[in-house]
Structure 1
Amino acid sequence: MNVERHVELASNIRHSLARLGPDDHEMAIEAAMLAGTHWLNAALHAHGVAGEDEDVVHCSMLVVNLVRTYTVVEPDLVGALQEIEDLRPLHVRGDVPGGPAAADRALALLAAMQQRALEAIALTAPTADSPKEAR
C-alpha cells in the first residue's frame, strides 16, 4: 500500500471514532490499533525504509531486525503502536478494569502518531527542485 492510501484509511478510521460512546472502549482500542498501524506504515513508506509491499500489521509480529530498523527511523511511532498493542489483551475481550481509561490512552497515542506521521510525510515529500520519487 502507498503513503496516500494509508493516510486515507487512517483518516477514515479517525472519523469513525467520533461516533463511539464511552462504553465502546474495546472498539476505540481496536480502531486506534488499526489507524496507528496505517500511520506507522505511511511514515515508513515516506522514509523509504519499507516498500509498498511491506506493511506492518503488528509490531509484535515483526522480526527483530525490522523492529530495530523501524525504531531507529521512527522511535515514537513504533513505541506508541507497541503501547496500544499492549492494551489490547487486557481491555479488548479482556476483563481487566479500566477499559475506558485505556481507550483514552490509546486515542491520545493515536493523535500523537497522526501528528508525527504527517510531519514525517511532509519532511520527506519531494520538493519542486527534487525529482519525484515513487511512493
Structure 2
Amino acid sequence: MAFLRRLLTGSGRLPDDLRTALEAEGIVLLLEELPGSTTYRNYRAPGKRSNWKKQGTSGAIAVTGRRVVAWTSFNGREVDVPRDGPLPDGLEVVREDDAVCFTYDAAAFHADRSGTVEVRLRTDEAGQVVALATAGR
C-alpha cells in the first residue's frame, strides 16, 4: 500500500538542497513521508482556476531554529516562514485530530494568486508541530 501511495502522491521527502539548508540551520523536528491533502478554495493563479479542489499528496514538515517549512510532493515549498515574531498575516497553523493544517491566503505570499490554500499533513506528532510553529507568537 505504501508503494501505491508513493506512486500516486509522491515520496513526501524533502529535496536534497532544501534538506542541506535546513540541516545547516539546526533541525529541531523533521517529519517526512506524511500522507495528506491540499485543498484550494476560490483559488486563482496564472493558468489555474478552482472554486474548490482537493488533491491527495505526501509531504514533509521541518522546524529549525530559524523557520518552519511545509513541503508537498506536487507543489514543493508550501510554507516557509521565520519562527521569530508573529505568524505572517494570512497564515494559520492548527492541529486537527491527527493532522497539522497550514491554511494560508495565497495573495499574502504570491502577488499573482488569490484564494485560500489548506495543506493537511497527518502525523501523530501534530501537537508538537503546532506548539513549535506557534511558540512565542
Whether the TM-score (by the shorter chain) exceeds 0.5 is no
Larger Rg: 1
Greater fraction helix: 1
Query: TM class by shorter-chain length?
Result: under 0.3
Bigger RCO (CA 8 Å, 6+ sep): 1
Greater fraction strand: 2
TM-score normalized by the length of structure 1: 0.25
